[in-house]
Amino acid sequence: MYDGGKIITGIVIFLLFALFPIYSNFGKTYKPPKPDLNTPEIQKMEVKKCVEPKEYMRAEHMKLLVDWRDAALREGKRTYINSRGESYFISLQNTCMRCHSDKKKFCDECHKHAGVSPYCWDCHFAK
């Protein structure tokens, strides 16, 4: 004879496991990363701006950094002229990280979300 009780219990247990990823996320909203710009160097700025416009930086900072590295190492060029005609000293540590001095709350905050861990810090100091 079939044991209806056991079959139903089995189905319920199966569904609890199968649907776990769905109900365990129920009610949680997706939290976008919140990179923190609150550093002493940025607080001092009258007009808070990055090397390039924010949207460009958000999307293209990895490319800009590689261009900076190539400029510095291959061409010996240490000055970057941005789209506004302003010059910046080409340096990850002394330029980017001077303003973005809280690496954990800025760079890492986004990278954690994106699942990337740039290997730059194997050699470069964050501060």
Interface mask (CB under 6 A) for ligand HEC, residues 48-67, using x and -?
xxxx--x--xx--xx-xx--
- In the bound state with ligand HEC, the residue whose beta carbon lies nearer, of 40 and 118, is 118
* CA gap 10, 20 in Å, rounded: 15
Tokens of 126: 């964050």
Should residue 114 be labelled a site residue for ligand HEC when binding is judged by CB under 6 A?
A: yes
* CA gap 90, 66 in Å, rounded: 11
> Are residues 88 and 50 in contact, defined by beta-carbon separation less than 8 angstroms?
no
Should residue 123 be labelled a site residue for ligand HEC when binding is judged by CB under 6 A?
A: yes
Q: Per CB under 6 A, which of residues 22..41 are in contact with ligand HEC?
A: 33, 35, 37
| Residue 106 vs residues 20, 75, 119: alpha-carbon distances, Å | 33, 30, 16
Q: Which residues bind ligand HEC (CB under 6 A)?
A: 33, 35, 37, 42, 48-51, 54, 57-58, 61-62, 64-65, 68-69, 72-73, 90-93, 95-96, 99-100, 106-107, 110-111, 114, 116, 118-120, 122-124
